[in-house]
Amino acid sequence: MEAVRAAIIGCGKIAEKHVNALAELGGEAVLAALFDLDEERLERFADRCKPRFPEVQTYGSIDALLNQSDAELIVIATSSDSHAELAMKALRAGKHVLVEKPLALSMKEARDAAEEAERRGLVLAVSFQARYMPQMRAMKEAVEQGRFGSIGHGVVTMRWSRGLPYYKESPWRESWEKGGGLFMNQCIHYIDLLQWMLGPVRSVYAQAAVVGQEIGVENTGAVVLRFQSGAIGLIEATTLAYPSSLGTSIALFGEKGSAAMEGAMLNELKLWQFEDGADGAWPPPRIEGISHAPLYRDLAGAIRSGAIPLVTAADSLSALEIVLAIYRSISSGKAVELPLGHFEMSKMAWME
């Protein structure tokens, strides 16, 4: 299979993970082009990439990259408030797109991008790379096989640490209007996993607080989800854990089985027990941390064969809707029924 040629827009910290993933793929994908608004950062980043991708080119503008490079896949690794606009721009240039989460800060923008990709026959995927972990796919498979029986409870915990320098080096991280906040910027990965496994959500109730830091977004919060199946979901999250990030967990509890994963990257088995007696062997052949490499492998195959990737733009809308409902609940102090209707992160600006 001919290597898919990728370009990265945005050369911040997350871009390093994308480059590492492309390098892991060997001949399946290569880094062809880079752009960043900060010219010095762009050149420094390109210099670090060239030992692995010697032919990578830098461009002076996004338009130049889209019009002049031979990249087929545009990776958007910029601040969250720019994702939707850049995704549309790349799609209209005839490019496949991988966008860091979230796809957009409103349901309208997200749906518009998903519809544009479908209309043009292009791949538009969102970077929910945790879905590709063997242990997460095994848990999802156990749900689909009915091994849990009726699931009554799903729980996500996220106990991370983000000091003031984290927010000050990228000011958008402490602005709700620009997509900051622990639920939109961090916990959305695990919210996506929970809804991927338990299905559509009926209602959302959330509380959040800013504790111990002078920042403009929440650093602690809790959410109760009621799923259409009748299950109750609980999410509790903080970015104020001492002395450092203490890990994440996801657990499902049903009438015939229970499973839980925890650890720094959901890479530690805590519980895997089922009534059917098949719990003696842990299903996946290996337990891995979160990596972008399987995501890129899936996208390369989708671009070359026309297959549907695991995380399409349309598929990502559910997690985004839940997160937007969380913020609507935080701002109103009330439970929010889904479907959400019109709400966007700019409506949080009055609270900043």
- For residues 277 and 228, the model is more confident at 228
Give the whole-angstrom CA distance, residue 254 versus residue 252. 7
pLDDT tens-digit readout, 98-154:
999 999 999 999 999 999 999 999 999 999 999 999 999 999 999 999 999 999 999
Give the whole-angstrom CA distance, residue 9 versus residue 22. 15
Q: Which spans in the chain are helix H?
A: 13-24, 39-49, 62-68, 83-92, 107-120, 134-144, 164-169, 182, 188-198, 293-305, 313-332
pLDDT at 219: 98
Model confidence band, residue 88 (pLDDT cutoffs 50, 70, 90): very high
pLDDT at 341: 81
Mapping DSSP to helix (H, G, I), strand (E, B) and coil, where does residue 240 land? strand
| Percent helix, percent strand, percent coil in the chain, to nearest 5 | 40, 25, 35
Instruction: Output b/e per residue, 57-84; b: 16+ Cβ within 10 A.
Output: bbbeebeebbeebebbbbbbbbbbbbbb
Q: Which of 25-29, 300-304, 338-342, 344-348 has the highest mean pLDDT?
A: 300-304
Average pLDDT over residues 323-338: 97
Tokens 């001919």 appear where?
2
Torsion (CA) 162, 136, 196, 127 in degrees, nearest 10? 50
Give the whole-angstrom CA distance, residue 330 versus residue 218. 10
- For residues 290 and 92, the model is more confident at 92
Is the pLDDT at 156 greater than 90? The verdict is yes
Q: How far is CA 109 from CA 117, 155, 262, 336, in A?
A: 13, 29, 34, 20
Give percent above pLDDT 70 in the chain: 96
Model confidence band, residue 284 (pLDDT cutoffs 50, 70, 90): low
Report the mean per-residue pLDDT for the chain.
94
Model confidence band, residue 178 (pLDDT cutoffs 50, 70, 90): very high
Model confidence band, residue 1 (pLDDT cutoffs 50, 70, 90): confident
All domains in the chain, ordered by first residue:
4-127+294-310 (3.40.50.720), 130-290+318-351 (3.30.360.10)
Is the pLDDT at 351 greater than 60? The verdict is no
**Do residues 300 and 306 touch, judged by C-beta distance below 8 A?**
no
Task: Please give the single-letter amino acid code of residue 66.
Answer: L
pLDDT at 282: 60
Tokens 């492309």 appear where?
22
Give the whole-angstrom CA distance, residue 307 versus residue 310. 10
Tokens 């919060």 appear where?
221
pLDDT at 279: 57
Task: Please give the single-letter amino acid code of residue 276.
Answer: D
Q: Kindly give, in sequence order, each residue whose CB lies less than 8 Å from that of residue 86, ignoring residues fewer than 6 positions away.
A: 9, 62, 74, 76, 78, 99
Model confidence band, residue 288 (pLDDT cutoffs 50, 70, 90): confident
Count other C-beta atoms under 10 Å from residue 55's C-beta: 10
Helices (H) and strands (E) counted in the chain, each on its own, are 11, 14
Is the pLDDT at 283 greater than 60? The verdict is no
